[in-house]
Amino acid sequence: MRPLTLHQRRQLLAATAASGVIANLEVALRATGLLLTPDVMEAAAGAGATHVCDWLRRRGAAAGTALHVAAAAGHRATCEWLVRSTADGGCGANPSPTAALAALRGGHTALAAWLMRLLQPAPDGSGDGAATADGGGGEAGQLLLPAGQLPAPASVPRFLLLTAVAEGCDLATLQQQLPGAEPAQQGEGEAAASSSSSGSSSGGGGGGAGRSLSVGQCLSLEHYAATAAGSSTPDWREKVVWLLSLLPPPPPCRSQPTGPGYSEAGGDAGSSICMFRMAAARPDAVERFAWLAARGYRPSRSSLGLSAAARAGNVEAVRCLLSLRPDMQLSARAAAAQAAAEGGHVAILAMLHGYGGGSGGSGGADADAAAKGNTCCDADEAAKGEGGAAEPEAPGDPSRPPDRRRHFPLPVSRDQLMVAAKAGHVAAVRWLVQAAAEAAAAQPFAPASHYVQAQGDGHGRSQLQHQRYLDTQLAGWVAEGGSVGLLRWLAERAGAGGGAGAGAGAGAGVGVGTWPWGGAGAGAGAGGSGPEAGNSSRGLVGGGDGGGVGSGGGGGGGFRFTAGTFMAAARGGSEAVLDYLAAECGCDMGQDGEPYALAGANGDLRTLAVLRRLSCPWSAGGRTLTLAVWWPAGGSFTSCAPPVLRWLLAAGVPADWAAARRAARRRGHGAEEVLALLAEAEAEARAAAEAAVAGF
């Protein structure tokens, strides 16, 4: 358990609960040293382990979204137990519309119908299906007929109901809930009937070419079609075609010679904006992209599908989207890069940072190869032949200005490093740090905010201080991610930042140690003779040469582990990192005991024991207990549960009882229990003190 972080131990506990073996779960609880959290119950419910859910309920575990998870997985017995335990006064879950929708998204219509019947407020609530749809779905509900299988109550909006059906159910179920244009065909002329028949034969459900639909109804149908494009059912193509066949033909003003999914403004018309985003998370995303591109659809320049594909780690899907949309916006690529960093997908990071002429090593080559050899490009070339996409301008064509948007390089951002480091992705952090250093070295004439000339003024010192602050931030993120090896690598890399040199000629040295988002370190030297050399101050992700007359100077990179680094490690919960920082690095642990409050807010009793073993100090004036009761500056780590407070009191934490009571009153929910606990502990402490005085 030593190298495991808090997140990894929680994953281990959830996986053990999902296995259904209670004996193993008892061992895992003792080994991980964690309090029971709702995600343990949710994991057991998602696996259908009803007996484990009952064991957890008897130990006070909260249900959380266990009913939703069980409904999505189709476990009817577990759902019934959760509802029944709530009715009996236990910690189960009340029926809710979101649980019914989760069952539909999982394709479990019978379970969804049962959950919806539980939501009926009165016997007459399931009578008029049209009134129910009209009340819950607005404009979209007015084109709906009474639902065939699903007794949808008013608490389930009709729009959300049909979205869930389009996502998780087959075409037949979708047609039962949205019968298409069949009633409208009876009142239309022969032309409308023939067009509807042709839509029915091609899409499998009846067309709506002759219908008069409002803008809201058309947008709803387009949304259902986009949802179907990301459906997990084998007939997702048939669902998309049938839903689109219900739409009327576009008016002449909307007709585009470039296909139904393209607009001259560079965006997309209709549902193609969402189709690629919905399909991007599927394992067969490339196949779906090719199918959509063959029908004339293109992703938008700001497509969220790029982020979805990057988050899923689908390298080929990212290549396909970049080939279908070479002018993808920088903001879309930045969001995708952050998603890839959070998942630790180095190949996608290299592709996105190298795409469009930016630095980043082999990423540019990957993107160029993607634009030539990907399967999506075949459909894209076919679309170009039909006029579906603009031809790229020739590099030397003076008649057309270059599209600078597609060549703007994507920088390494602070957020990318943060999410990769906190998630513990060692390879991604190494790549980002090295890519940022290469980008800084490749830009000798960087913007003014990215460099500083060493002329001995105070500006250089302030920039160096800012560089040290950024280095310390990165160290805290890595410590929270739980990688001792990466901490050592960062320290060794920063330790190479100092140096000295000698030079011939005249001049002042300039040293640049730059983060891509600002901050630099500087060094200079003068005097002596000899070949120019010299390494100036340098941060983790930058470096520069300083030369001058005589002996060159430089400064250290300023990388150091601080009390903030140790606090981040306590929040991350890795015993190996805490041992490394305390024993090998001699890191400052703080004075007020903040690491105890951070670890305790996570319910991490194991890390609390490690902190005591390392002799992490706590406040002699009682501030540690006060922070554990309620910490206003702790972000989401605002308070510790009563079992953690009992552990701290049993371990002998000093207490300021008046301050602790004031903090407890600010907790809101659960304040009475904490106040009672503090009163009991204070009485015991007073009795112990009186007994000690009497014995003396």
Segment 426-463, tens digit of pLDDT? 999 999 988 988 887 776 544 433 333 334 455 555 65
Task: Kindly state the DSSP code that residue 551 receives in the 8-state scheme.
Answer: E
Determine the 3-state secondary structure of 618 from DSSP.
Answer: coil
Partners of 162 in beta bridges: none
CA angle 672-675-676, nearest 5°? 85
Tokens 């100077």 belong to residue = 553
The helix (H) or strand (E) run that includes residue 473 is helix 458-481
Torsion, Cα 344 347 349 355, to 10 degrees, reads: -170
Model confidence over 352-377: pLDDT tens digits? 998 644 333 333 343 344 334 445 65
**Which pLDDT belongs to residue 525?**
37
List the beta bridge partners of residue 550.
503
- Strand partners of residue 261: 297
Mean pLDDT over each residue of the chain, to the nearest integer: 75
Lowest mean pLDDT segment, chosen from 117-121, 324-328, 514-518 = 514-518
> Is the predicted pLDDT of residue 258 greater than 70, yes or no?
no
CA distances, 621 to each of 589, 658, 681 (Å)? 17, 12, 17
603 has a pLDDT exceeding 80: yes
pLDDT for 461 equals 59
What pLDDT sits at residue 303? 83
- Give me the count of residues in the chain: 696
pLDDT digits (tens, 9 = 90+) for 12-51: 999 999 999 999 999 999 999 999 999 999 999 999 999 9
Q: How far apart are the first and last CA of the chain?
A: 44
Per the rule left: phi > 0, alpha: psi between -120 and 50, beta: everything else, 428 is alpha
Query: pLDDT-derived band of residue 91, with 50, 70 and 90 as boundaries?
Result: low
| Cα–Cα distance for residue pair 613/605, rounded to 1 Å | 13
Residue pLDDT, tens place only, 467-507: 667 778 889 999 999 999 999 988 887 765 444 333 333 33
pLDDT score at 466: 62
Average pLDDT over residues 97-111: 94
Burial degree of 194 (CB within 10 A; 0-12, 13-18, 19+): middle
- The span from the CA of 401 to the CA of 397, in Å, is 8
More confident residue, 652 or 386: 652
Half-sphere exposure of 610 (CA within 13 A, CB side): 30
DSSP string for residues in 419-460 = HHHHTT-HHHHHHHHHHHHHHHHT-TT--GGG----SSSHHH
**What DSSP state is assigned to residue 248?**
P
Q: Which residue has the higher pLDDT, 249 or 413?
A: 413
Q: What is the pLDDT of residue 578?
A: 97
Measure the CA dihedral 85/91/92/95, to 10°.
110
Tell me the backbone φ, ψ of residue 491, rounded to 5 degrees.
-65, -40
Return the exposure string of 351-390: e unless at least 16 CB atoms fall within 10 Å of the residue's CB, then b: bbbbbbebbbeebbebbeebbeebebbebbeebeeeebbe
